[in-house]
Amino acid sequence: MHSIKRVLAVTGAIVALLAFAPVALAGTHYPFHLDKTCAADASEPLGYICTVQHSDFRWIPPGTHVRYLSQAGNVVQARIVSRYGTADGACTWSTDVNAECVFSGGTGRLTGFHLDVDVTANADQSIWYWDGTYWFGGGCGRR
């Protein structure tokens, strides 16, 4: 009888830990970096498309496209299109080479994905850099 209570107590503790583990992990922020290049593409809504050259996030690998769908003032609507899923966001430009992009939600492996990055470029604007944080689930951005 004593061992049954012990087994039940241990089982209950394991079930409780498994139930709350996703909540504890949700919103944990991780560093994010990618490099991308952009090229003219008349078939795109804003006339260009960008391609990820390097990324330290496995679900946005090299070859992933970043499409820019529309623009209103200094805000550009963007979509990350990876073979693993998509994520939509907005980039707010403060200068020709500086912006903040915020993505939330997504499809496929990017379901629940959040990304908050600063955008910069090298001197000749041939390479664009995204540096910031990502997380899955709820929670606020880094700002």
Reference 108, options 135, 83, 78, 139; nearest CA is 83
Residue 5 lies in a domain: no
Residue 22 lies in a domain: no
Distance CA 59, CA 44 (A): 23
Reference 52, options 1, 115, 107; nearest CA is 115
Residue 6 lies in a domain: no
Which residues form the domain of 56?
28-136
Residue 76 lies in a domain: yes
The DSSP element (H or E) to which 15 belongs, if any, is helix 2-25
Residue 131 lies in a domain: yes
Q: What would the pLDDT profile of 36-83 be if each residue is shown by its tens digit?
A: 999 999 999 999 999 999 999 999 999 999 999 999 999 999 999 999
Residue 20 lies in a domain: no
Residue 19 lies in a domain: no
Number of domains present in the structure of the chain: 1
Other beta carbons less than 10 A from residue 11's beta carbon = 10
Q: What would the pLDDT profile of 79-101 be if each residue is shown by its tens digit?
A: 999 999 999 999 999 999 999 99
Distance CA 16, CA 34 (A): 37
pTM value is 0.78
Distance CA 143, CA 141 (A): 5
Which amino acid is present at 80? Answer: I
